[in-house]
Amino acid sequence: AQKLAQIRDNSNYFRSELLKMGFEVLGDNDSPIMPIMLYNPGKIPAFSRECLKRNVAVVMVGFPASPLLLSRTRICISAAHTREDMIKALEVISTVGDMVGIKYFPAEPNKSQLEENRVKID
């Protein structure tokens, strides 16, 4: 029961931070699997390669597994991920998301919880 609670907490934290950053995230709130929409299939290789260069592995889903213009990446969170692990991954995903242009919703103008947590850890 403790691991289930931890995975739920980790998933909800990670998803809420992605949404604050401006990503379109699909799936249920408590789910540890988070599809982030890329839409343009041309963005798949760049997003994957740039994340991997920064030591974050992501699962890419494109045609024919999804419709041609509904490409996405899947992020999988576990109970073993620490808050620091998640903050580092979020920083990478945010940076790469800006590079390839997949933040389809404007981020909130105020300081995100991610930045506040980074200050607490450092």
Q: Provide the angle, in degrees to the nearest 10, between the axes of the packed helices 83-100 and 113-121.
A: 130
Whole domain around residue 54: which residue ranges? 2-115
User: How many structural domains is the chain composed of?
Assistant: 1
Q: Is residue 76 part of a domain?
A: yes
Q: What is the pLDDT of residues 60-102, one digit of tens each?
A: 999 989 989 999 999 999 999 999 999 999 999 999 999 999 9
Q: Is residue 15 part of a domain?
A: yes
Please answer whether residues 39 and 69 qualify as being in contact, where contact means their C-beta atoms are separated by less than 8 angstroms.
yes
47 burial (CB, 10 Å; 0-12 / 13-18 / 19+) is buried
pLDDT greater than 60 at residue 116:
yes
Q: Is residue 63 part of a domain?
A: yes
Q: Is residue 29 part of a domain?
A: yes
Q: Is residue 80 part of a domain?
A: yes
Mean pLDDT of 108-114: 57
Q: Is residue 120 part of a domain?
A: no
Q: Residue 79 sits in a domain of what CATH number? A: 3.90.1150.10
Q: What is the pLDDT of residues 40-56, one digit of tens each?
A: 999 999 999 999 999 99
Q: Is residue 51 part of a domain?
A: yes
Please answer whether residues 36 and 72 qualify as being in contact, where contact means their C-beta atoms are separated by less than 8 angstroms.
yes
- At residue 6, the pLDDT reads 95
Q: Is residue 121 part of a domain?
A: no
